[in-house]
Amino acid sequence: MDLSPVIDGFGVVLEPTNLLYCLIGVVIGMLIGVLPGLGPAATIAILLPVTFGIEPVTAIIMLAGIFYGAQYGGTITSVLLRLPGEASSVVTVFDGHELARQGKAGTALGIAAIGSFVGGTVSIIALSLLAPLVAGFALDFGPPEYTALALLGILLVSTVSSGHRIKALVAASVGLLLATVGRDGFTSAERFTFDNLSLADGIDFVPIAMGLFGLGEILYNLEERHRATQAPAKVANAWPSRKDLRQSSGAIGRGSLIGFVLGILPGGGAVLSSLAAYALEKRRAKDPSRFGKGAVEGVAAPETANNAAATSSFIPLLTLGIPANATMAVIFGALLIQGVSPGPQLVSQEPELFWGVVNSMYIGNILLLIMSIPLVGLFVRILRVRATVLAPITVLITLIGVYTVNNDVFDIVLVIVFGAIGYLMKKLGFDPGPLVLAFVLGSLLEDSLRRSLLIFDGDATGFFTRPISGTLLAAFVLVAVLPLVRRALRRREEEHVDSSA
């Protein structure tokens, strides 16, 4: 492996401007993690217009910092207030808040900080080693392989998504439909434009992301955040004892591995990783009854896993051009807006950007470790700012931001429409993530499918004659059929039990 691009990447990160934006990103990420409901996807979507005036590598360094910074920010309120600021921190509430009630809030936050740092660092090292190999393998990808990969990605996100599986599939179908709006790339025929010139070039990604994740989340959270606030637990000594470190070391190691692997998978991400890591530790424990009553492993495992997953989810994005979760879809849009095409060529054609972003994560993790405890008091005070004050300011920034992209009032209309749709989706239990991911992958899927059929002279069986696309389509069929088989077996077992009774 040639190390010169890696070393040059550190040179990129250590430029004062990039260091500053890395710091800004992790601070914003921690802040967003503290504020319940908004989340990194919504924040990155709202900040997309801000990135237009800065260099691509600087912009992505900041947006990446927001993503992995948010994973730790949610820990603070989970431990001190029993209020998870980020979905991936829900599991941390179980033991983190119990430790706080026992006067060990500092221990919980210290273990979380160490676990987050170790998980993130292990995942970055693995990312540095694995991503170039994946990119080299992906150079063999043609239209058939990208067709199969896009199909598998959409299905995985839909079936593994949080919430009802049918609702996730419906949301993904709507996303695919929205991706077809505009002129046909092959025939130039207009589709679903309703004679509106503003729709002739298709729907831009920015209004959809800012509407669903930004405005929609704000409207939903305004309705939901009518809870009585409780006094935060006091933070004493934030450095864990040797016993705590020894007790949690295994959980941190296992959480790093689980988070890295699940973060790569479409639909996996930080939430699934934290749940899986917690479940594993509880199953392995000699006394599972300790969990939920202040077990340090119950904090160490999920916090390590969600940070490892946040980092490893960059592998499919940067090397294959496939976003693994909703936040990665928004960052994917940011890269496209900056004129950067994520995919196998990125490592060789844009080494400064690739290694600059990867190496910035080392710096970002160190910054998070240094700042995590001193800023706890400040972040808890921010929670006392009323949502009725924060929401109008955020909405105004969102609308001004989307207008500055194309200087088009129609984009503001789209943000409002998709904001209403996002609010209704949350109310009805639909996850907006599959819709956005399917929209992002829709154009890739359509173009690759049609190019593939031209290559195969219209013979769809050609997909199965190529090793990579055939394997990916076999995985697609397996993922689609497996839940049906599992449901049939469960039904047969229930019928057998009823008949024997």
Helix or strand holding residue 455 (H, E) = helix 432-455
Averaged pLDDT for residues 224-243: 59
Q: Which two tokens stand for residue 137?
A: 């393998």
* φ, ψ of residue 190 in degrees (nearest 5): -85, 140
Averaged pLDDT for residues 297-315: 87
Residue 390 identity (one-letter amino acid): L
Contact 278, 166 (CB under 8 A): no
Contact 97, 105 (CB under 8 A): no
3-state secondary structure (DSSP) of residue 191: strand
3-state secondary structure (DSSP) of residue 296: coil
Nearest partner of 270 among 354, 328, 212, judged by Cα: 328
Higher pLDDT, 319 or 19: 19
Contact 13, 360 (CB under 8 A): yes
Q: Which DSSP category does 345 fall into?
A: T
Averaged pLDDT for residues 299-313: 88
Helix or strand holding residue 190 (H, E) = strand 190-191
Contact 324, 266 (CB under 8 A): yes
Q: Which DSSP category does 215 fall into?
A: I
3-state secondary structure (DSSP) of residue 182: strand
For residue 124, the cross-strand partners are none
Answer whether residue 354 shows pLDDT above 90.
no
What pLDDT, in 10s, does the model give residues 17-68?
999 999 999 888 888 777 655 667 777 887 888 787 788 899 989 988 888 8
For the beta carbon of residue 40, count every other beta carbon within 10 angstroms.
Answer: 33
**Could you give the C-alpha distances from 81 to 61, 162, 242, in angstroms and in order?**
31, 24, 26
Distance, CA of 64 to chain centre: 10
For residue 183, the cross-strand partners are 190
Answer whether residue 479 shows pLDDT above 70.
yes
- The sign of the torsion formed by the CA atoms of 133, 134, 138, 140 equals positive
What confidence score (pLDDT) does residue 190 get?
87
Determine what percent of the chain is predicted with pLDDT higher than 90. 6
C-alpha atoms less than 13 angstroms from C-alpha of 102 in its C-beta half-sphere: 13
What confidence score (pLDDT) does residue 421 get?
92
Total residues found in the chain within this entry: 501
Q: Which DSSP category does 232 fall into?
A: P
Contact 363, 26 (CB under 8 A): no
Averaged pLDDT for residues 285-298: 83
Determine what percent of the chain is predicted with pLDDT higher than 70. 85
Per-residue DSSP letters for 143-162?
HHHHHHHHHHHHHHHHHHSS
What pLDDT, in 10s, does the model give residues 389-414?
777 877 887 787 778 767 788 888 99
Q: Which two tokens stand for residue 60?
A: 């992505």
Mean pLDDT for all residues in the chain? 80
For residue 191, the cross-strand partners are 182
What confidence score (pLDDT) does residue 168 get?
82
Write down the pTM of the prediction. 0.70
- The sign of the torsion formed by the CA atoms of 105, 107, 110, 111 equals negative
Answer whether residue 228 shows pLDDT above 50.
no
Please state, in angstroms and rounded to a whole number, the distance separating the CA atoms of residues 54 and 33: 24
Which stretch of 101-105, 117-121, 194-198, 221-225 has the lowest confidence by average pLDDT? 221-225
What confidence score (pLDDT) does residue 35 get?
67
Nearest partner of 222 among 426, 431, 428, 433, judged by Cα: 426
Match 């990420």 to its residue by tokens.
29
